[in-house]
Amino acid sequence: MIHEVGKEFYMIRSAEEDFHRNIYLKRFVGSDGKAVNLLFDPGTRLDMGTMLPMLKEKAGGIAQINLVFLSHQDPDLTANIGTVLASAPRSYLITSVDTWRLVKMYGLPEKRVRTVESFDSMVLRMKKSGHRIRFVPARYCHFRGAMMVYDYESRVLFTGDVFGGVDTRKGDGIYATEDSWEGIKLFHQLYMPSSKALQKTMEAISMLNPFPEVIAPQHGDVIKGDLVIEFMDRLSRLQVGADLMEENNPEVDLAILGINNFLELMGINFPEIREKFLQLFQKGNEFTSPFEFSAGTVSGIKISPDNALLQVYSMIGQVEDKEIQQHLRAIFMDSMDQLDIHFNVQEEKVDSDDILRDNDSMNLDDLLE
């Protein structure tokens, strides 16, 4: 399904239930009806079946793509770049110097590349239509050369991995709710290197004028309305990555001890369920597990202690027998109480899955100022 998240700004998403990719297309339509078509992070071969119909319906086909933007170098968004450039012979790649240094390993033609740093004030202007977009650095989020793109016409900010998340919101649709936050929080704690990098990126976004109305990440839900400011504020204060790696952190050690005590008691009372539970732990609900294991016990956590405990408590909801569920929740809370771990959960918010057309321009200079 094709979703319009802003004026002439379209999105498709991959079919994964737990951690999907978003691919975007922006059309800059001039007064003569002709358009410059910009494709964002074109994904992998797995996405061609949904991306090609979108390009045909909205742009007249993949051959009509003029510009392709890569936010960073990861293969989940760059794997299709060679195919796109070959299928759209009049297209150009736009990305940061740091990203180009890596993606050129795909054997891409250098003459069809422009780096964002080469544009005056990092603003790209469409020569015929007058449209503008601004490139916004997201340094070390999670890559040194990560870049975002702000479209002034639609006031949509494409953020790449920033604001990305695992799918913790239930139901259909593409827009974030409060339930989306846990997935965003988990993703950033796993993959963003430091809170300082996130703070600098949030500061850069806050300087945009006019302020963005829509946040369009490469993973997870599209964010709009009051949640834009709310999630920005939370991310600016969130400890991530290296912030969570302090040695001899008593809160982390205590959480690990509490989780292992719970697993031990589960093994005594429900050994078969414990084995399934460990499999679920390590599978991470089709996503990178936030736990590290050694000899069947938790040896480390990659996220905050509070969030790790919430993940474990939430996993209990996947036990089918409701009576056993109640026993396990009681065992878990008792394990926390014995270690004086203050753990509070709002039952109504815990769910069993809460774990996690024609354009004659042949030359780039004819398109841009």
For residue 348, the model assigns a pLDDT of: 40
Select from 159, 198, 164 the least CA-distant residue to 69. Answer: 159
The whole-number average pLDDT for the span 216-229 is 97
For residue 157, the model assigns a pLDDT of: 98
- Read off the pLDDT band of 347 (50, 70, 90): very low
Give the E-state strand segments of 113-197 in sequence order: 113-115, 123-125, 132-137, 147-151, 156-160
pLDDT over 60 at 368, yes or no:
yes
Q: Checking DSSP bridges between strand 132-137 and strand 67-69, what pairing results, if any?
A: unpaired
How many Å apart are CA 329 and CA 347, to the nearest integer? 11
pLDDT in tens, 138-195: 999 999 999 999 999 999 999 999 999 999 898 889 999 999 999 999 899 989 999 9
pLDDT in tens, 309-327: 988 998 898 888 888 999 8
What tokens appear for 249 in the block? 């952190």
Give the E-state strand segments of the chain in sequence order: 3-6, 9-13, 22-29, 35-40, 67-69, 92-95, 113-115, 123-125, 132-137, 147-151, 156-160, 214-217, 223-224, 291-294, 297-301
The whole-number average pLDDT for the span 246-258 is 79
Share of the chain above pLDDT 70, in %: 92
* Residue 42 CB contacts under 8 Å (≥ 6 apart), including other chains: 23, 51, 68, 77, 78, 80, 81, 84
pLDDT over 50 at 359, yes or no:
no
Contact assessment for residue 6 and residue 155, using Cβ atoms and an 8 Å cutoff: yes
Please provide residue 21's backbone torsions phi and psi, each rounded to the nearest 5 degrees: -105, 145
pLDDT over 60 at 289, yes or no:
yes
Contact assessment for residue 184 and residue 220, using Cβ atoms and an 8 Å cutoff: yes
What tokens appear for 178 in the block? 């409060």
For residue 90, the model assigns a pLDDT of: 94
Q: Helix, strand, coil proportions of the chain in percent (round to 5)?
A: 45, 20, 35
Select from 63, 146, 140 the least CA-distant residue to 103. Answer: 146
pTM: 0.76
For residue 283, the model assigns a pLDDT of: 61
* Residue 115 CB contacts under 8 Å (≥ 6 apart), including other chains: 94, 95, 96, 97, 100
For residue 235, the model assigns a pLDDT of: 97
For residue 246, the model assigns a pLDDT of: 62
How many Å apart are CA 266 and CA 268, to the nearest integer? 5
The whole-number average pLDDT for the span 290-310 is 83
For residue 353, the model assigns a pLDDT of: 42
How wide is the angle at C-alpha 277 spanned by C-alphas 271 and 280, nearest 5°?
A: 155
Reduced to 3 states (helix: H, G, I; strand: E, B; else coil), residue 292 is: strand
pLDDT over 60 at 357, yes or no:
no
pLDDT in tens, 270-287: 888 888 888 777 664 445
Terminal CA-CA length for the chain? 34
